[in-house]
């Protein structure tokens, strides 16, 4: 193994995920400490146009696993290509984003490589012998722990929580070496094939990448009232979210669920409306920079986590909040 750091870059329909740029930025910071090269890996089909989109974030080399068989995501096919990239780059560290794809792919890659994996990471620190000390929430966010790799089996594989690690400024002006991986991928490597993708109507802002989230729970009383949350979110340029109880009630699609069994988010501002604050929900938004809670129950657990709390009926508070935000935006 070298001191190389390999970062898997997630792309969908030719668009690089912001969470992967965050992972690449963190990879650059770590590579500056180890003195080894930073290698970015993109998997898919017709990838040539994507190299310019990540070059400014400092990779020394960009590896492309380009094949028509990899056009649509396949955990088998993608895992095989990451394993091949590890074989060629011999990295000490493999970094991925803990997105829906990363959640599915990272354990499969770790299994193939028989290497250690830590997911949902919120901080990385380089220790002795280029071994990582990793900070992450534990026990549904009740505590934050530090886990240390032993180095008995490399690479060290980490999946980073989106919207936590800062982006580097795109001013590094590197001209990375472009390497094509001979994928060797066959139909046998992609046994499970995606034939069709049915997309539900999605919010304009990706929930996991949103800087502001306005989220609703059981206190919203019905799906028809989530329009109030959308109005506030639109003014703020954010996205809407929901607790599991709201999703289970059929008020809003599962793609908007925040929590242990939903999406893990890390916005600058999280506004919880009519959400009691169960630990499972808190696990999905505990790393928000600022939490504002609106609930008529003064004993609701959400207030213990909130930076600011409003005790009141959400249906009286939200209209006032919306009008005040409009005034601020107009001014």
Q: Residue 140 has what pLDDT? A: 76
Rounded to the nearest integer, the mean pLDDT of the chain is: 91
CATH number for the domain spanning 286: value is 3.40.50.1220
More confident residue, 285 or 205: 285
Q: Residue 8 has what pLDDT? A: 98
Q: Residue 105 has what pLDDT? A: 96
Question: What pLDDT, in 10s, does the model give residues 239-260?
Answer: 999 999 999 999 999 989 999 8
Q: Residue 202 has what pLDDT? A: 54
Instruction: Indicate whether 119 belongs to any domain.
Output: yes
Q: What is the largest CA-CA distance in the chain?
A: 61
For residue 40, what are the β-bridge partners? 7, 62
Q: Residue 169 has what pLDDT? A: 74
Proportion of the chain above pLDDT 90, given as a percent: 71
Contact (CB, 8 A) for 69 and 186 = yes
Question: What pLDDT, in 10s, does the model give residues 69-95?
Answer: 898 898 899 999 999 999 999 999 999
Q: 178 and 109, same structural domain?
A: yes
CA 74 to chain centre: 19
Q: 182 and 38, same structural domain?
A: yes
For residue 148, what are the β-bridge partners? 133
Q: 212 and 183, same structural domain?
A: no
Q: 128 and 72, same structural domain?
A: yes
Domain that includes residue 243, residue range = 207-330
Q: Residue 203 has what pLDDT? A: 54
- Parallel, antiparallel, or unpaired: how do β-strands 212-216 and 239-242 relate? parallel
Question: What pLDDT, in 10s, does the model give residues 186-208?
Answer: 777 777 777 777 776 655 577 88
Q: 262 and 148, same structural domain?
A: no
User: How much is the pTM?
Assistant: 0.85
Proportion of the chain above pLDDT 70, given as a percent: 96
- pLDDT exceeds cutoff 80 at 24: yes
The sheet carrying 156-160 orders its strands as: 117-121, 156-160, 93-97, 5-9, 38-44, 61-66, 177-180
Q: Residue 172 has what pLDDT? A: 67
Question: What pLDDT, in 10s, does the model give residues 94-120?
Answer: 999 999 899 999 999 999 999 999 999
* Over residues 154-180, mean pLDDT: 87
Q: What are phi and psi of 311, to 5 degrees?
A: -90, 110
- pLDDT exceeds cutoff 70 at 216: yes
Instruction: Indicate whether 201 belongs to any domain.
Output: no
Contact (CB, 8 A) for 229 and 270 = no
- pLDDT exceeds cutoff 60 at 148: yes
Residues near 118 by Cβ (< 8 Å), separated by ≥ 6?
Answer: 134, 136, 147, 149, 156, 157, 158, 159
Q: 281 and 139, same structural domain?
A: no
Q: 290 and 239, same structural domain?
A: yes
Q: Residue 1 has what pLDDT? A: 55
Query: Among residues 243, 236, 313, which one has the least CA distance to residue 267?
Result: 236
CATH number for the domain spanning 39: value is 3.40.50.620
More confident residue, 195 or 278: 278
Q: Residue 170 has what pLDDT? A: 64
């Amino acid at each position: 193994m070298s001191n190389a750091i390999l970062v898997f870059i997630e792309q969908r329909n030719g668009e690089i995920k912001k969470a992967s740029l965050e992972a690449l930025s963190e990879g650059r910071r770590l590579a500056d400490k180890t003195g080894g090269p930073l290698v970015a890996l993109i998997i898919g089909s017709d990838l040539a146009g994507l190299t310019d989109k990540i070059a400014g974030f400092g990779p020394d080399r960009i590896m492309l696993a380009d094949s028509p068989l990899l056009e649509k995501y396949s955990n088998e096919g993608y895992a095989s290509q990451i394993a091949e990239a590890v074989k060629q780059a011999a990295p000490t560290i493999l970094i991925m984003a803990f997105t829906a794809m990363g959640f599915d792919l990272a354990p499969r890659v770790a299994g193939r490589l028989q290497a250690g994996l830590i997911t949902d990471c919120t901080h990385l620190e380089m220790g002795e012998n280029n071994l990582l000390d990793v900070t992450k929430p534990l026990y549904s966010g009740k505590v934050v722990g530090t886990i240390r790799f032993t180095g008995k089996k490399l690479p060290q594989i980490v999946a980073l929580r989106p919207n936590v690690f800062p982006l580097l400024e795109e001013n590094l002006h590197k001209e990375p070496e472009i390497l094509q991986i001979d994928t060797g991928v066959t139909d046998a490597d992609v046994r499970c094939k995606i034939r069709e993708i049915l997309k539900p109507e999605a919010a304009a802002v990706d929930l996991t990448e949103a800087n502001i989230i306005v989220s609703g729970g059981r206190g919203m009383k019905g799906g028809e009232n989530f329009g109030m949350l959308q109005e506030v979110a639109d003014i703020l340029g954010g996205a809407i979210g929901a607790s599991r109880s709201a999703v289970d009630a059929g008020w809003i699609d599962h793609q908007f669920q925040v929590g242990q069994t939903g999406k893990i988010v890390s916005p600058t501002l999280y506004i919880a409306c009519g959400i009691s604050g169960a630990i499972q929900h808190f696990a999905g938004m505990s790393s928000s920079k600022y939490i504002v809670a609106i609930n008529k129950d003064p004993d609701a657990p959400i207030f213990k986590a909130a930076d600011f709390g409003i005790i009141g009926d959400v249906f009286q508070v939200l209209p006032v909040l919306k009008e005040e935000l409009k005034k601020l935006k107009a001014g």
